[in-house]
């Protein structure tokens, strides 16, 4: 086994990446599934292990050859002193021989090392040095005149045998051959030495014992070295396995299992890196949020497997696109992705955001059941990039991208929007509002006003609509058109909504100040698990029955008809609460909502009434009224501001009206006072 077998083994080394064991690739080391520990004795054949051992042993022998021979030669030459003492007459020859053999051996070895000779040649040089060292000294020594001294001095031949077996780390074969040659020479010398039979027998036995003993120790040493090698190999492999497993686990903990993209944890870390580069080095970057439009609908229609496939397609396409921009992409949540890219020019960011949008659109994945006239999968994209004003908070850029995404959705989806700090929807004002909403209830900044709803036929007040009001800490009023979207975006609407229902019950219903109150409820509330249960709790606590409440649902931004919304609506109906459709005709989804939900009343948006000054507008209003009537819902027209409009509503046979002409929104105290004066339930006719 030489350099070739070493090389041959190199390709099979279990610590090399491509190593194959019994047909199994060692890539299993990188697998994430728990792997049993790798025992080289079981996994590798004895031959393979031997080959590996010899390869490793060769390297060690190679390293040991030079110091070994130098020490041996030094000792060999030092024995010149004993030559001078024991065989002074031939010492000149023996010493010359010592120097000649020693120097020759060292020169040959150094030359071999320099030329990179194979280890076996180095071994041969050392073995030859032992044999010739012995012969080189033996021959002139045997010529000595003092035969007795010579006879005893010959015994030192065993030292050469010992050095072959114990001093040098030859392979077992080379050790045995070398020591056998020395033994043979010793026997030849023993035969010819002029000494008694007893001497010859004693030393003959001594030589063979010495040979047997040192050969045995050599064999044991080799075996021990082999075991040490096996244990070390096992330890190395286990260490490598543990490292690989650690790496695999780390990879897993940072990868989204579905799309293979980085997961939120990993991308958050990356975001921190981008951020610190921006803070320290001024390297700007863009954060882009991507949300697959109507994805829940897609899942509902095509099933979760198709949904997964859709996300994988989108992830792959975006990943390919982002490579061109040298950015990073990760899955941020369900159907939301995030892209980070080093760029801080508005045009560049806008171009990338638009490219993302078009990439998803170009996939042309069928999504036929969305209700906005598009029949393929699209995405809404919100982008923000580092600006001087971005401030020192990392979260801010994500908030800004989130707000831009919200605007993209509000603009009808399948479009990209860039965060614009000058836009009131995105401005710091909205940030302030979000903070204000958090403390609004505790600080008494929020209140309700009530606008009457009149029954057209009887002229009586049927109900009132609760409208939320918010004032700032300095008392300035904030219009609902500003704070309701912020409350919906931040989730504050959930608490505000519960507060509104509780307040309506406490202010007007518990003491029968009015018969019915309609409360505006955002689809976000309906989508939140447990909403119907929380309403039931409020009813239970206040002792108000559900049939005194109506919930007005507006087809707003969250127009996607979620199955959770339908479930929630049916639960609310079980509580006796009536469901009204608000602002009908202003969104995309109104008609499908009409089909899916059995609304008690449909409120026709005031814009239709206000447009009916033209024949076209009048026809439109009539068409809408006919449509709603044919579906069997009660009709309420909003925004009635004049007597003419009231008369028109009568002509059209409208059920209920609401508007400034009927009554402006006023605080609860107005209704409580009326009751106090009239001492009768709130039902009276107007004009």
Stretch that binds Mg ion, among 121-129, 285-293, 514-522, 671-679 (CB under 5 A): 514-522
Tell me the HSE value of 22 on the side-chain side, using a 13 A CA sphere: 7
Stretch that binds Mg ion, among 174-182, 240-248, 314-322, 515-523 (CB under 5 A): 515-523
Strands laid side by side in the 336-341 sheet: 328-333, 336-341, 286-292, 379-385, 416-418
Binding mask 312-331 for ligand C2E (x = CB under 6 A): --------------------
Residue closer to ligand C2E (CB basis): 423 or 641: 641
Residue closer to ligand C2E (CB basis): 40 or 659: 659
- Partner from ligand C2E, Mg ion, none contacting 480, C-beta within 5 to 8 A by type: ligand C2E
Q: What is the CA radius of gyration of the chain?
A: 47
Q: Using an 8 Å Cβ cutoff, are 491 and 402 in contact?
A: no
Helix, strand, or coil here: 246? helix
Whole-angstrom Cα distance, residue 308 to residue 20? 35
Q: Give residues 142-161 in contact with ligand C2E (rule: CB under 6 A).
A: none
Q: Using an 8 Å Cβ cutoff, are 167 and 214 in contact?
A: no
| Beta-sheet pairing, 477-478 with 336-341 | unpaired
Whole-angstrom Cα distance, residue 173 to residue 218? 10
Q: Does 522 bind ligand C2E (CB under 6 A)?
A: yes
Shortest Cβ 247–Mg ion spacing (Å) = 57
Stretch that binds Mg ion, among 450-458, 480-488, 580-588, 628-636 (CB under 5 A): 580-588
Q: Using an 8 Å Cβ cutoff, are 337 and 380 in contact?
A: no
Whole-angstrom Cα distance, residue 392 to residue 394? 7
DSSP secondary-structure letter at 605?
A: P
Stretch that binds Mg ion, among 58-66, 178-186, 390-398, 575-583 (CB under 5 A): 575-583
Shortest Cβ 662–ligand C2E spacing (Å) = 8
- Closest by CA to 581, choosing from 640, 635, 516, is 635
- Partner from ligand C2E, Mg ion, none contacting 660, C-beta within 5 to 8 A by type: ligand C2E
- Partner from Mg ion, ligand C2E, none contacting 555, C-beta within 5 to 8 A by type: none
Residue closer to ligand C2E (CB basis): 270 or 603: 603
Stretch that binds ligand C2E, among 260-268, 411-419, 480-488, 673-681 (CB under 6 A): 480-488
Residue closer to ligand C2E (CB basis): 329 or 553: 553
Shortest Cβ 244–ligand C2E spacing (Å) = 54
Q: Using an 8 Å Cβ cutoff, are 579 and 569 in contact?
A: yes
Whole-angstrom Cα distance, residue 97 to residue 495? 104
Q: Does 555 bind Mg ion (CB under 5 A)?
A: no
β-pair partners for 286: 341, 385
Q: Give residues 161-200 in contact with ligand C2E (rule: CB under 6 A).
A: none
- Partner from ligand C2E, Mg ion, none contacting 467, C-beta within 5 to 8 A by type: ligand C2E
| Beta-sheet pairing, 461-471 with 446-455 | antiparallel
Q: What is the CB neighbour count within 10 angstroms for residue 248?
A: 16
Stretch that binds ligand C2E, among 28-36, 69-77, 142-150, 473-481 (CB under 6 A): 473-481
Q: Using an 8 Å Cβ cutoff, are 464 and 450 in contact?
A: yes
Shortest Cβ 407–ligand C2E spacing (Å) = 18
Whole-angstrom Cα distance, residue 592 to residue 354? 30
Phi, psi of 463 (to 5 degrees): -160, 180
Q: Using an 8 Å Cβ cutoff, are 43 and 21 in contact?
A: yes
- Site for Mg ion (CB under 5 A): which residue of 123, 552, 555, 560? 552
Q: Does 204 bind ligand C2E (CB under 6 A)?
A: no
Q: Give residues 405-464 in contact with ligand C2E (rule: CB under 6 A).
A: 451
- Site for Mg ion (CB under 5 A): which residue of 582, 585, 636, 649? 582
Binding mask 575-594 for ligand C2E (x = CB under 6 A): -------xx-----------
Contacts of 485 (CB under 8 A, 6+ apart): 410, 425, 557
Q: Does 468 bind ligand C2E (CB under 6 A)?
A: yes
Helix 480-490 to helix 394-410 angle (10° resolution) is: 120
- Site for Mg ion (CB under 5 A): which residue of 262, 455, 555, 583? 583
Helix, strand, or coil here: 247? helix
Whole-angstrom Cα distance, residue 604 to residue 652? 13
Shortest Cβ 17–ligand C2E spacing (Å) = 60
- Site for ligand C2E (CB under 6 A): which residue of 26, 520, 528, 601? 520
- Partner from Mg ion, ligand C2E, none contacting 163, C-beta within 5 to 8 A by type: none
Helix 480-490 to helix 492-504 angle (10° resolution) is: 120
Phi, psi of 90 (to 5 degrees): -115, 10
Q: Does 80 bind ligand C2E (CB under 6 A)?
A: no
Q: What is the dihedral of CA 488, 491, 496, 500, to 10 degrees?
A: 60
Residue closer to ligand C2E (CB basis): 123 or 552: 552
Q: Give residues 595-624 in contact with ligand C2E (rule: CB under 6 A).
A: 606
Q: Using an 8 Å Cβ cutoff, are 411 and 284 in contact?
A: no
> What separation in angstroms does the CA of 268 have from each of 259, 317, 330, 517?
17, 22, 9, 46
Q: Does 83 bind Mg ion (CB under 5 A)?
A: no
Binding mask 609-648 for Mg ion (x = CB under 5 A): -----------------------------x----------
Whole-angstrom Cα distance, residue 152 to residue 615? 139
Tell me how many residues contact Mg ion (CB under 5 A). 5
The catalytic position among 335, 462, 507, 555 is: 335
- Site for ligand C2E (CB under 6 A): which residue of 113, 467, 506, 575? 467
> What separation in angstroms does the CA of 526 have from each of 370, 406, 548?
20, 19, 19
- Site for ligand C2E (CB under 6 A): which residue of 23, 34, 479, 540? 479
Residue closer to ligand C2E (CB basis): 521 or 577: 521
Whole-angstrom Cα distance, residue 268 to residue 271? 5
Shortest Cβ 561–ligand C2E spacing (Å) = 17
Alpha helices in 292-393 (DSSP H): 295-302, 304-324, 346-362
- Site for ligand C2E (CB under 6 A): which residue of 480, 491, 587, 667? 480
- Site for ligand C2E (CB under 6 A): which residue of 435, 439, 660, 669? 660
Q: What is the CB neighbour count within 10 angstroms for residue 408?
A: 26
| Angle, CA 668 vertex, CA 662 and CA 673 arms, to 5° | 90
Binding mask 619-648 for ligand C2E (x = CB under 6 A): --------------------x-x-------
Residue 336 annotated among the catalytic residues of the structure: no
- Site for Mg ion (CB under 5 A): which residue of 259, 263, 426, 520? 520
Q: Does 528 bind ligand C2E (CB under 6 A)?
A: no
Stretch that binds ligand C2E, among 124-132, 180-188, 338-346, 657-665 (CB under 6 A): 657-665
Q: Using an 8 Å Cβ cutoff, are 476 and 470 in contact?
A: no
Residue closer to Mg ion (CB basis): 275 or 461: 461
Query: Burial, 498: exposed, middle or buried (Cβ in 10 Å; 0-12, 13-18, 19+)?
Result: middle
Report the interface residues with Mg ion, using CB under 5 A.
520, 552, 582-583, 638
- The set of catalytic residues is 335
Report the interface residues with ligand C2E, using CB under 6 A.
451, 467-468, 479-481, 484, 500, 520-522, 552, 554, 582-583, 606, 639, 641, 658-660, 665
């Amino acid at each position: 086994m030489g350099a070739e077998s070493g090389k041959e083994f190199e390709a099979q080394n279990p610590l090399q990446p491509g190593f194959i064991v019994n047909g199994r690739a060692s890539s299993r080391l990188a697998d994430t599934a728990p792997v049993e520990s790798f025992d080289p004795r079981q996994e590798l054949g004895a031959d393979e292990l031997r080959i590996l051992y010899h390869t490793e042993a060769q390297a060690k022998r190679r390293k040991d050859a030079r110091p070994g021979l130098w020490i041996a030669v030094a000792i060999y030459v030092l024995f010149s002193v004993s030559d001078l003492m024991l065989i002074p007459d031939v010492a000149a020859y023996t010493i010359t021989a010592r120097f000649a053999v020693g120097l020759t051996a060292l020169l040959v070895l150094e030359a071999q090392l320099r030329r990179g000779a194979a280890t076996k040649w180095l071994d041969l040089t050392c073995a030859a040095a032992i044999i010739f060292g012995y012969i080189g000294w033996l021959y002139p020594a045997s010529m000595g005149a003092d035969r007795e001294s010579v006879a005893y001095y010959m015994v030192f031949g065993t030292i050469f045998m010992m050095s072959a077996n114990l001093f040098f780390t030859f392979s077992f074969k080379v050790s045995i051959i070398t020591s056998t040659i020395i033994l043979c020479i010793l026997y030849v010398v023993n035969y010819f030495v002029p000494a008694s039979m007893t001497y010859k027998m004693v030393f003959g036995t001594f030589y063979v014992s010495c040979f047997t003993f040192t050969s045995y120790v050599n064999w044991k040493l080799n075996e021990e070295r082999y075991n040490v090698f096996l244990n070390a190999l096992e330890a190395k492999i286990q260490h490598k396995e543990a490292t690989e497993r650690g790496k695999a686990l780390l990879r897993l903990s940072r990868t989204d299992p579905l799309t293979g993209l980085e997961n939120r944890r990993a991308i958050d870390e990356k975001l921190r890196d981008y951020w610190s580069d921006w803070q320290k080095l001024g390297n700007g970057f863009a954060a882009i949020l991507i949300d697959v439009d109507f994805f829940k609908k897609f899942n509902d229609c095509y099933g979760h497997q198709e949904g997964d496939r859709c996300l994988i397609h989108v992830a792959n396409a975006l990943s390919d696109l982002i490579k061109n921009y040298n950015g990073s992409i990760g899955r941020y949540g369900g159907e939301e992705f995030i892209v980070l890219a080093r760029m801080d020019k508005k045009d560049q960011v806008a171009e990338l955001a638009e490219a993302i949008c078009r990439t998803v659109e170009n996939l042309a994945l069928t999504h036929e059941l969305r209700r906005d006239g598009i029949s393929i999968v699209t995405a809404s994209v919100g982008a923000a990039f580092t600006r001087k004003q971005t401030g020192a908070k990392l979260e801010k850029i994500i908030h800004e991208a989130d707000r831009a995404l919200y605007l993209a959705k509000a603009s009808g989806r399948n479009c990209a929007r860039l965060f614009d700090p000058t836009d009131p929807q995105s401005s710091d004002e909205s940030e302030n509002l979000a903070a204000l909403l958090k403390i609004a209830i505790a600080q008494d900044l929020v209140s309700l006003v009530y606008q009457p709803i009149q029954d057209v036929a009887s002229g009586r007040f049927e109900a009132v609509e609760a409208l939320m009001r918010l004032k700032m800490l300095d008392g300035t009023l904030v219009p609902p058109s500003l704070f309701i979207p912020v409350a919906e975006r931040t989730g504050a609407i959930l608490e505000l909504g519960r507060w509104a229902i509780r307040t309506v019950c406490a202010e007007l219903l518990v003491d029968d100040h009015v018969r019915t109150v309609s409360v505006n409820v955002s689809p976000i509330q309906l989508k939140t698990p447990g909403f119907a249960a929380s309403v039931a709790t409020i009813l239970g606590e206040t002792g108000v029955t559900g049939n005194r409440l109506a919930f007005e649902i507006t087809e707003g931004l969250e127009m996607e008809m979620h199955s959770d919304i339908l479930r929630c609506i049916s639960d609310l109906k079980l509580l006796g609460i009536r469901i009204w459709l608000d602002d009908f005709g202003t969104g995309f989804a109104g008609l499908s909502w009409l089909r899916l939900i059995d609304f008690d009343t449909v409120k026709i948006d005031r814009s239709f009434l206000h447009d009916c000054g033209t024949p076209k507008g009048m026809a439109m209003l009539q068409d809408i009224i006919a449509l709603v009537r044919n579906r069997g819902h009660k009709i309420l027209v909003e925004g009635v501001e004049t007597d003419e409009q009231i008369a028109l509503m009568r002509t059209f046979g409208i059920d209920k009206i609401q508007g400034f002409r009927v009554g402006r929104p006023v605080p609860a105290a107005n209704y409580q006072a009326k009751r106090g004066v009239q001492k009768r339930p709130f039902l009276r006719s107007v004009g």
